[in-house]
Amino acid sequence: MNMQSEYLKYINKLSDELRQEIDFELLSDILSAQGWTPVEFTPFTYSKQAKDIAEWTEQHCMGKWRHCGVKFVFERAADATAAILKWQ
């Protein structure tokens, strides 16, 4: 592969990540306006902590939830509280 194609792959990856973050911000704003609770878990103590939090929420939260990296939004305030107590 040449340098230009590697560069284009990198640019495409970054633009996809940016698109996902913007889409999630919009979704989070809409859900928050409907009573969902936004939570941002920072700082992380290890690199795969966002994945671990997502796995924990899958097992322990009773309501719906969504996340993008370190930003989560919970349908139930009790789930948000439990996640905060567990992970912060």
**Rounded alpha-carbon distances, angstroms, from residue 43 to 11, 51, 75, 76, 78:** 27, 14, 23, 23, 22
Tens digits of residue pLDDT in 2-59: 888 888 999 999 999 999 999 999 999 999 999 999 999 887 777 788 889 999 999 9
Give domain limits for the chain. Answer: 3-87
**Predicted TM-score of the model (pTM):** 0.82
Residue for token pair 């990540």: 17
What are the angstrom distances between the C-alpha of 79 and each of 1, 12, 18, 19, 20? 47, 35, 27, 27, 24
**pLDDT tens digit sequence for 26-37:** 999 999 999 999
